[in-house]
Amino acid sequence: MSATSFDSATFRRVLGHYPTGVCAVTAVEPDGAPIGMVVGSFTSVSLDPPLVAFFPAKSSSSWPRIERLGKFCVNILASDQLPLCRQIAAPGPDKFRDIAHRVSANGSPILDDVVAWIDCTLDAVHDAGDHHIAIGRVAALEVERADRPLLFFQGRYGEFALLD
């Protein structure tokens, strides 16, 4: 038990005031079955070498399968892709039903019409409380459409608005 002066609900409420982007991390099993999970914790790490990171929950059933494969694609979702986000986030075998995609050079699904994609090989995994820190070495990346990303803020989805 940690010696903090706040509970987990307070922690979530306060950190909920910081918006995060929403990404779908995808991979393909050896039998050809696609795997996907939604993360709201994705960041660039290094330019040299090119590294990115995301933070899968230890309770995730998709993450161990992706980790075993050692490669994945991070798909940055657009603000109009909330239905796709919810479908990939839902448990069950039909995550990719009717979801158009192509396969990256690394063998992972690139979802159609995403803002951008980052194809990676798994570089390292670190323990971080009830999550892991998954670091990917970028093999390829591209902007698919320069559009607004899907955001998560205060427990709800939204989009970015430019002020200038």
| pLDDT tens-place string over residues 61-93 | 999 999 999 999 999 999 999 999 999 999 887
Mean pLDDT within 135-148: 97
Sole residue written with tokens 């939204």 = 158
Q: Is 44 exposed, middle or buried, given 0-12, 13-18 or 19+ CB atoms closer than 10 A?
A: exposed
Check whether 1 has a pLDDT greater than 60: no
Q: What band does 160 get if pLDDT is binned at 50, 70 and 90? A: confident
Q: What band does 2 get if pLDDT is binned at 50, 70 and 90? A: low
Predicted structure pTM score: 0.93
How confident is the model at residue 3, as a pLDDT?
Answer: 67
How confident is the model at residue 78, as a pLDDT?
Answer: 97
**Mean per-residue pLDDT of the chain:** 93
Q: Which residue has the higher pLDDT, 124 or 161?
A: 124
Beta-ladder partners of 151: 21, 158
Closest CA to 57 of 18, 25, 16, 29: 25
Q: What is the pLDDT of residues 14-51, one digit of tens each?
A: 888 788 899 999 999 999 999 999 999 999 999 999 99
How confident is the model at residue 119, as a pLDDT?
Answer: 98
Asked if omega into 49 is within 30° of 0 (cis), the reply is yes
How confident is the model at residue 12, as a pLDDT?
Answer: 84
Check whether 102 has a pLDDT greater than 90: yes
- Percent of the chain having pLDDT more than 90? 77
Mean pLDDT within 157-161: 87
